[in-house]
Structure 1
Amino acid sequence: MDSESAVEFLKEATKLATSHELEGIAQRLEAKRDLFGTELSEVRLGSMSEEGFVELLRHVFSIRRKSRRLVRIVGVDALRGAVSDLVHGSGDPSDRFEAFVSSMDGVIDQRRAINLAGELLHFSDPEQHWLWTNWMWDHQTGSGALPMVIQDDAPLSGGSLAERYRNVGAALRLVEASGHSRNISGNADGMLGNDLFLACVHGVYMYTVFRLKLSNEFNRILPELPELVERVLGVRNLEVRPND
């Protein structure tokens, strides 16, 4: 774990977002976990309609604008089966992850398929299944938030998607063990805290690059860090229910 880099990203994130804003994002992450956990239960998933899938997939950043098209191309029954196999199937989750991505071949590109599989599996049970998205680590380019905060000798690449998924999980456990995510995540802990921390790393990097390289006109319409983070996590405008 590259603690020095992690601390620097943490400092920049807390300059660009208030603790109140970060706590709000943490609460929305928990709301997303609750939503996915409920909707992807075996009972609810077994009767999920086209509109139900569309609404759920609108909370997946890279899929949200293609959600209706994806559902109609795949078909509700086939999608229900693929998601059920991913979330509730037998065998190693990494193998189920790879099988789901393969089932989306010809429907969406592999990056989006990885994002979709990662979000469905992760938010159905965040402590059992970790998140892998291309903003976290793009196995084709080697870029992403995760490589920026882990040491070079932490392996991410592998011979198959299943192996890469397992390696991402091992790296995320290192991030969780470092404690940095707890310093930024408010009420969210564990892997949800990791989600917020790494989304902030991604947001700080993008924010810095945009500010340095793009025109003043573009920078004036660039969203602030909290909005960038909410968007990549798929929690923008997600309703948070008050505690009883």
Structure 2
Amino acid sequence: MGDKKLTVRAVERALDILLCFTEESELSLTEIAVKVSLNKSTVHRLLASLEGKGFLRRDPLSDRYRLGLSLWELSSNLVHEDDPAQLFYPDMRKLRDALGETISLYVRDERERIRIQAIESNHPIRRVARIGIRLPLSVGASGKALVAFSDLETQNYILRDPGWPELVDLNRYRQQLERISRDGYATSLEERESGTSAVAAPIFDRHRQLLGVLSVSGPVSRLTEEKMREIAPIVMDAAMRMGRMTLIRQ
């Protein structure tokens, strides 16, 4: 039993190391050790194993690590027609072309949201959307939409989080959820990032379960409150069409 526990723990630590690269493209041994809260000798052994299997590669000049080809080989089998990130991509591109702003697709993972697909605006000044990034549910149009259109049990799970940010007033947030549920979409104006605004609408599957949210974001100079109200019906209509696509394919 002891050996099995050690093996499982080593696997967990190796996965923690890989997850460090969700926000950084390259890291040093010291930076990784700090992120996973392990001593450098332990991290060095795990890095050697991951490098040996091709999950990481080390630049001999800078002595920094990057993701390896094995992850790309695995990801090639992840993409299929039922994957929302691929299924909705053509419609997201059409929406980007129609509105001119950055389009993102978010899903909820526990008490966070993850951007699983994005198509950036063609404008020189645009909202840069990195795929795979994890963001809070407490701020931003997409986060609020994911909570507002979830079932009551899920909402309670999220809102009773002991780690809820102190700067986000929970009562005011609940009021926002009620309005979002009534309107059918959510907006945000410089909530998470200065100079950025967004409007988001829910995507439901054939069982009326929340699949994710479709978001349009851009600089506040173009995506004003008035503009967001104007394009909200377009975003909701696009999200509804995407939901119908799951009906066709299931």
Pairwise same-fold verdict (TM > 0.5): no
| More helix per residue | 1
Task: Identify the TM-score tier after normalising by the shorter chain.
Answer: under 0.3
TM-score (norm 1): 0.27
TM-score (norm 2): 0.27
| More strand per residue | 2
